Amino acid sequence: MVFLNLPLLVRSRGPDEFWRKRRIFKLAAHYRSRTRNVYSFAIRSVHRALAYATKGRKLKKLDMAQLWSTRVEAGCQQYGVGLETFKEGLARSDILLNKKVLSDLAIWEPRSFEALVKISRERAAVEGMPDIKRRSAFNQVYGLSNLKLD
Partner 1 sequence: MSIAKRVQQWATFARTWHIYDCTWQNPFESAKLVKTHLLGLQKPIYHPMNDCGDHVVLINTREIALPGDEWVKRVYFHHTGYPGGASWTLAWQLHEKDPTMVMKKAVYNSMRGNLQRRHTMQRLHLFADDQVPEEILQNVTNQIRTPRSIPQRLDHIDKETLENFPNIMDYPKDYILR
Residues forming the site for partner 1 (CB under 8 A): 67, 70-72, 74-75, 77-78, 103, 106-110, 113
Residue (70 or 140) nearer to partner 1, CB? 70
CB 79 within 8 A of CB 114: yes
Q: CA 86 to CA 118: how far, in whole Å?
A: 9
The nearest distance, CB 74 to partner 1, in angstroms, is 5
Residue (28 or 106) nearer to partner 1, CB? 106
Q: CA 129 to CA 106: how far, in whole Å?
A: 23
Residue (28 or 113) nearer to partner 1, CB? 113
Give the contacts of 112 (CB within 8 A, at least 6 positions apart).
Answer: 105
The nearest distance, CB 107 to partner 1, in angstroms, is 5
The nearest distance, CB 3 to partner 1, in angstroms, is 60
Residue 25 has a CB neighbour count (10 Å cut-off) of 17
